[in-house]
Every structure is written in C-alpha cells, then in structure tokens.
Amino acid sequence: MAERTKAHEMAEKQREISVSEFFSKNRHLLGFDNPRKALLMAVKEAVDNSLDACEEARIIPDIYVELQQLKEDRFKVIVEDNGPGIVKEQIPKIFGKLLYGSKFHRLRVSRGQQGIGISAVLLYGQLTTGKGMHVTSRIGPKHQAHYFEIHLDTQRNEPIIKEDKTVEWKKEHGTRIEIELQGTYQKGKQSVDEYIKEIALINPHAQITYKTPEKETLTYARGITELPKEAKEIKPHPYGVELGVLIRMLHSTTTGSVSSFLQNDFSRISQGLAQEICDKAKVNPRARPSTIARDEAEALYNSILNTKIIAPPTDCLIPLGEEALIKGLKKEINAEFYCAATRPPSVYRGNPFLIEIGLAYGGSLEKEESVKIMRFANRVPLLYQQGACATTEAIVDTAWKGYGLSQSKESIPVGPVVVVLHMNSVWVPFTSEAKEAIAHYPEIIKEMKLALQEAGRQMASYIRKNVKAREQQERINLFEKYIPELAASLSELSGEKKEVIKLELEKVLKKNMKDLLSDVKEAEKTEIKGKNVAYGEKQSTLGDLNGS
Ligand SMILES: Nc1ncnc2c1ncn2[C@@H]1O[C@H](COP(=O)(O)OP(=O)(O)OP(=O)(O)O)[C@@H](O)[C@H]1O
Ligand SMILES: [Mg+2]
C-alpha cells in the first residue's frame, strides 16, 4: 500500500463549503453584525425588494411595515407590498436560497443587485430564533394567494418547505413576508425610523405606512404621483470587461462568430468596429467564439482597449430630478431654503452613472453641528459605514468655507445643512455585500465634488443675500429704537427742539433704508441664474423691509 502522507490526512478534512454556511459564519459581511443593525437590515432588504418589484411592474408602491416586539431582544418584522407578487414555484428559492435573484445578471438600475438580500434575512432569523419565514403572495385577482413557511438548509443552500397552502387574501396582488429575529429597537441615527424617513424622502412616489414597536402608526404620504421612468437594461461596455470575463463570455455566447459576439454581447460595437478590433488582434472575425484560444482572447482584449469606442448609453439611468428631490426634501426636512443639482451622466469601469445632490439650509436645522449627510444609492438610504464611503471623501474634500459654512481641515463642515447625495447606476460598486458604502473610484468622487460645488454655489448665494439683508435690518431696528433717546440728548446739547431733531433723524434712517434696498436689489440682479432649481421659503427679508 502507498505511504500515507500528511497530505492524505489533510485531504480528509477538505470539503466544499456552501455559500449559506459561509455567510452563517460571516453574517457581518451581510450587515447582520449586531441586533440593532439586524432589525434594520431585515426591514431594508424587504422594502427595497418591494419597491423594485412595484417599479418593474409599473405599480405605484404602497408599502406597509410593522415591527412587533415579542421579547426584550426578539421582534417580528412584517413587510407587505402591492407589487406584482411572485409565481408560486419561485417563492421557495427566492426566500430560501442565497444567491438566487433576477437582478445580478442584468445591467439595469435597481435597488437589489446580488440575489442575496432577502434570503440573508431568512438565514439570520433562522440562526437566531430557529424559525423560518412566512410568505404570502398573489399574482392577480384570477389567481389564488399562496402561503409558504420556508426554512433554509444551510449545508446545501436549498430551501426547506415547511408549509405550502392556498389562502384567502384581500389583496389582488402583492407580497407579504413575516419573520421573527433577534434584534433591538432604538430610535435615532441608523434606526429603522430613520431608514423609513429617508426612503420616503428619496422615493416621493411611494406611500409608506409604518407601525412602530410602540404601536404608533406613521404614514408617509406620496409627494408625487408619477412612477420613476422605466429602467432600461443595457449590455456591458467593452471598456469595463476584464480578460477573464471576456474569456468566459466567448465560451458561453450564443452567437456564431467573433464579429457577431462583439456586436451582440456588448454595447456600442458596430460591424465596422468589430472588424477593426479583430484586425488589430489578428483574429478571424468569422471564427467561432468557443474556438478562441487564451492568447487570442488576450489580443482581442488589448485591441478593445486600444480602439476608440463611444461611451455607454446613459438613457438607462433614472435620476430623481431636481424638482422631485426638492419635493422630497421639503416633505421630510423643515428648512428655509432648498436647492438641488443633477449632474450629467458619466462612466466608471464601463458603467454609466450619475450623481445628484439636494441641499436644505436653515430653518430648524442645528447651526453648531456637523452638516447632516444622507447618502443614497439607487434610491436606497445608506445608513452605515459613512466614513468608508466615497460620498464622505467628496464632502470632506470640498471647500465649504467658500459656500458660507465653517469647516476645519479635512473634516465635515459645520452648519444648519442637510446634504442629500444620490448615486444612480446600473451597477453600484459597494465596498461589501452589505451594500453600505460606495467604493472610491476617482471618476465617482470627481462627479460628486462637481455636484456639491453646483449646489454649494446656490446655497452660498442664498446665504449671502439673506445674511446681508438680515444684518442690515437688525441695525436699522436698533437705530430706530434709540431715536427718541438720541433726540433728547442732542436737544439738551444743542438747544434745538427735540421734535425737530427726531424728524431729522428719521429722515436719515429712511434714506439709509432706500440705499440698502437698492443695494440688495442690485445684488439680486447680478446673481447668475444657473439652470438649477432653487426654492427659498423666504428668499430675502426685503418683504419685511418694504412693509416697515
Ligand atoms: N416583494 C417582492 N415582489 C416580487 N419579487 C420579489 C420580491 N422580493 C424579492 N423578489 C424577487 O426575488 C429576487 C431575490 O431577492 P433578493 O433580495 O434576495 O435579491 P436581489 O433583490 O435580486 O438583490 P440584493 O441581494 O442586492 O437584494 C429578486 O431579484 C426579485 O426577482
Ligand atoms: Mg433585494
């Protein structure tokens, strides 16, 4: 018999690891690192899916969220939508199998991308309570509603169906999930409450009803009645593809020749361009893609990089738009001035993206605190990992002193401001599976900074006008108050009648007011009116001055 080596001994311990086992041990990678965050993740994954499903089916979303506290650290999470529902056969896999979904293989703007979100919630619930997920779904009035209780077999990463039946449901279509999990509920920053508020702000077309653990029902009414435009799917841009991916694509394509592969499986490659790429790579354009050897694929890859190809199409992006952003801000934040800026589309690693900014200033916002940053990716609030996010780098690198806020070196500015920063893309480069922070691509940071500057300028002009007008008004008020006293003293000194002096002083005050008015009006005229929308609840205190 052959000698038994250490390697043989080790071989006995080597075995496959299922993705569910991996994430059970590494649940922090999916965002379930503590009970407070876990509760938020459960709500977030379900609500994000509901919004995605409604929009894909062109249904104006109506979403119900409920948190029931069962014990100190045990909650039941309920999320119900009026979406298209889920076909019965698909339900077990969607909820009971990690990495199963409809969005991963498509380049299309959506909240979900990985096919892991809702099954991760089931995995966590099952780990902490031993219970599964209850799902009710109905796809239309002519179909019955189906109810499932699903668990997850972590060793095989497959669903286990504990119960499967048809039920009566008042809803014509939609999906409802219920799950028990270990969690803690706290209000404030990074809470479920904050997430719901921010999701309502950035999705003004959605109606959200939220029943808190304290049994209070909060309704976030719609701010607009139109759905965002329909998301278009695009093909990958050749510049964004890595060699390994190109090789895999060559082997799995359904096209018959390299030329048609290049034209069909990528965006922006015409017949002429395909020919040019093949010529440069010395590859026969009529060759079958599956017969292309590794060195030929590398030649094709280099040839693509050395060929001028226009940027990917950008009509696939779905910005909120400046007006909707301002409506959302006004709905959820009590300030005195609001402005927004949407940047033109740009590209990172072959993926189109765009950045939008909303700013709210003054009103009830805190003057002495750091500016409040609200980060969003494809209309999803990002509540954790602010320090690790590209948005933070862009904000810290912007010179806010020029826009009227105070800022110490390389830090978040201080002032009564909320900054809303939204990245929209067919693929958001998150730093982890928990989708909490945007990776630091230079192209993305550059666009964020340009957007911040655009909105910053609008805010600065408002501050300039208003602070000036307000200060002048205060000075006038003070002077007016002292006129009688001043007149009395001057009358004693000069022997002139007090009434005469008072009249003279009032004349001086009136003249000063006139000069001030024309100064401020002049400043308004010379103000460069940008293309962006800016709304001031109180554009200046001129009205008050005129009236007095
Ligand atoms: N409420 C729902 N209504 C209709 N379809 C749904 C609903 N929830 C989930 N789905 C379907 O189930 C799939 C899997 O959802 P899951 O949250 O696991 O992944 P995802 O949303 O594709 O990506 P991510 O992991 O980034 O969330 C979705 O792609 C979608 O097709
Ligand atoms: Mg999802």
Burial class of 96 by CB neighbour count within 10 A (0 to 12, 13 to 18, 19+): buried
Quick one: average pLDDT of 468-487? 82
CA neighbours closer than 13 Å in the CB half-sphere of residue 345: 17
Q: What pLDDT sits at residue 519?
A: 62
The mean of the pLDDT values for the chain is 91
Burial class of 142 by CB neighbour count within 10 A (0 to 12, 13 to 18, 19+): exposed
What is the DSSP secondary-structure string of 131-165? Answer: --EEEEEE--TTS-EEEEEEEEETTTTEEEEEEEE
Same domain, 367 and 461: yes
CA nearest to 314, candidates 274, 270, 269, 268? 268
CB count in 10 Å sphere of residue 347: 18
* Residue 92 in contact with ligand 1 by CB distance below 6 A: no
Tell me if 1 is assigned to some domain: no
Indicate the top mutation candidate among 30, 41, 52, 143 to test ligand 1's pocket, ranked by most ligand atoms within 8 A of CB: 52
Tell me if 122 is assigned to some domain: yes
CA nearest to 416, candidates 534, 335, 533? 335
Same domain, 278 and 330: no
Q: What pLDDT sits at residue 520?
A: 58
Per-residue pLDDT tens digits for 388-425:
999 999 999 999 999 999 999 889 999 999 999 999 99
The last residue of a domain, from among 173, 194, 220: 220
Q: For ligand 1, what atom is nearest to the CA of residue 49?
A: 8
pLDDT band at 469 (very low <50, low <70, confident <90, very high): confident
Alpha-carbon torsion (421, 80, 50, 133), positive or negative: positive
Tell me if 13 is assigned to some domain: no
- Domain CATH number, residue 92: 3.30.565.10
Q: What pLDDT sits at residue 514?
A: 73
Same domain, 298 and 332: no
Same domain, 360 and 501: yes
Tell me if 546 is assigned to some domain: yes
Q: What pLDDT sits at residue 433?
A: 87
Same domain, 286 and 328: no
Per-residue pLDDT tens digits for 216-237:
999 999 988 999 999 999 999 9
Question: Is residue 41 pLDDT above 50, yes or no?
Answer: yes
Range scoring the smallest mean pLDDT among 138-142, 249-253, 389-393, 526-530: 526-530
Tell me if 416 is assigned to some domain: yes
Q: What pLDDT sits at residue 262?
A: 97
* Residue 115 in contact with ligand 1 by CB distance below 6 A: yes
pLDDT band at 353 (very low <50, low <70, confident <90, very high): very high
Same domain, 118 and 247: no
Are 233 and 211 contacting, i.e. CB atoms less than 8 angstroms apart? Answer: no
CB count in 10 Å sphere of residue 414: 17
Q: What pLDDT sits at residue 486?
A: 87
Provide the number of structural domains found in the chain.
Answer: 3
Same domain, 255 and 332: no
CA nearest to 234, candidates 266, 204, 256, 203? 266
pLDDT band at 538 (very low <50, low <70, confident <90, very high): very low
Q: At what angle do helices 192-202 and 322-332 cross, to 10 degrees?
A: 140
Q: At what angle do helices 258-265 and 271-281 cross, to 10 degrees?
A: 130
Are 106 and 48 contacting, i.e. CB atoms less than 8 angstroms apart? Answer: no
Per-residue pLDDT tens digits for 444-461:
999 999 999 999 999 999
Residues in the chain: 548
Percent share of the chain, pLDDT over 90: 79
Instruction: Kindly give the distance from the C-alpha atom of residue 432 to the centroid of ligand 1, in angstroms, as a whole number.
Output: 18
Tell me if 321 is assigned to some domain: yes
Ligand nearest to the CA of 96: 1
Range scoring the smallest mean pLDDT among 100-109, 160-169, 272-281, 391-400: 100-109
Same domain, 47 and 147: yes
Same domain, 330 and 454: yes
Same domain, 138 and 249: no
Per-residue pLDDT tens digits for 64-111:
999 999 999 999 999 999 999 999 999 999 999 999 999 988 999 999
pLDDT band at 481 (very low <50, low <70, confident <90, very high): confident
The last residue of a domain, from among 305, 324, 359: 305
Per-residue pLDDT tens digits for 171-192:
999 999 999 999 999 999 999 9
Question: Is residue 536 pLDDT above 60, yes or no?
Answer: no
The token pair that represents 99 in the structure block: 């990495």
Q: What pLDDT sits at residue 464?
A: 87
SS3 call for 520: helix
The token pair that represents 66 in the structure block: 């409920």
48 CA to centre of own chain: 11
Are 95 and 136 contacting, i.e. CB atoms less than 8 angstroms apart? Answer: no
Alpha-carbon torsion (374, 375, 380, 385), positive or negative: negative
Are 299 and 257 contacting, i.e. CB atoms less than 8 angstroms apart? Answer: no
Predicted structure pTM score: 0.85
Are 86 and 175 contacting, i.e. CB atoms less than 8 angstroms apart? Answer: yes
Helix (H) or strand (E) holding 326: helix 322-332
- Location of structure tokens 């939609």: 174
Q: What pLDDT sits at residue 547?
A: 32
* Residue 43 in contact with ligand 1 by CB distance below 6 A: no
Nearest protein Cα to ligand 1, atom 9 = 49
Instruction: Kindly give the distance from the C-alpha atom of residue 461 to the centroid of ligand 2, in angstroms, as a whole number.
Output: 41
The last residue of a domain, from among 194, 220, 246: 220
Amino acid type, 425: S
Tell me if 230 is assigned to some domain: no
Percent share of the chain, pLDDT over 70: 93
* Residue 119 in contact with ligand 1 by CB distance below 6 A: yes
> Domain limits at 448?
315-548
Range scoring the smallest mean pLDDT among 83-87, 206-210, 259-263, 516-520: 516-520
Are 266 and 237 contacting, i.e. CB atoms less than 8 angstroms apart? Answer: yes
Nearest protein Cα to ligand 1, atom 13 = 101
Quick one: average pLDDT of 260-270? 96
Same domain, 167 and 27: yes
Tell me if 359 is assigned to some domain: yes
Q: Which residue has the higher pLDDT, 49 or 514?
A: 49
Same domain, 75 and 106: yes
Q: What pLDDT sits at residue 508?
A: 83
Per-residue pLDDT tens digits for 298-314:
999 999 999 999 999 99
Helix (H) or strand (E) holding 181: strand 174-182
* Residue 82 in contact with ligand 1 by CB distance below 6 A: no
Quick one: average pLDDT of 340-358? 95
Ligand nearest to the CA of 122: 1
Report d(CA 290, CA 288) in Å as an integer: 6
Report d(CA 379, CA 158) in Å as an integer: 31
Range scoring the smallest mean pLDDT among 324-333, 361-370, 503-512: 503-512
* Residue 113 in contact with ligand 1 by CB distance below 6 A: yes
SS3 call for 9: helix
CA nearest to 358, candidates 404, 316, 319? 319
Per-residue pLDDT tens digits for 500-519:
888 888 888 888 777 766 66
Quick one: average pLDDT of 478-487? 86
Report d(CA 338, CA 360) in Å as an integer: 4
Question: Is residue 540 pLDDT above 80, yes or no?
Answer: no
* Residue 110 in contact with ligand 1 by CB distance below 6 A: no
517 CA to centre of own chain: 42
Report d(CA 272, CA 258) in Å as an integer: 13
What φ, ψ does residue 413 adopt, rounded to 5°? -65, 165
Instruction: Kindly give the distance from the C-alpha atom of residue 402 to the centroid of ligand 2, in angstroms, as a whole number.
Output: 41
Per residue, the 3-state secondary structure of 275-315, as one string, reads: HHHHHHHCCCCCCCHHHCCHHHHHHHHHHHHCCCCCCCCCC
Helix (H) or strand (E) holding 466: helix 442-494
CA neighbours closer than 13 Å in the CB half-sphere of residue 149: 7
CB count in 10 Å sphere of residue 267: 20
- Domain CATH number, residue 245: 1.10.8.50
Report d(CA 416, CA 359) in Å as an integer: 10
- Cα dihedral 163, 169, 173, 176 in deg (nearest 10): -50
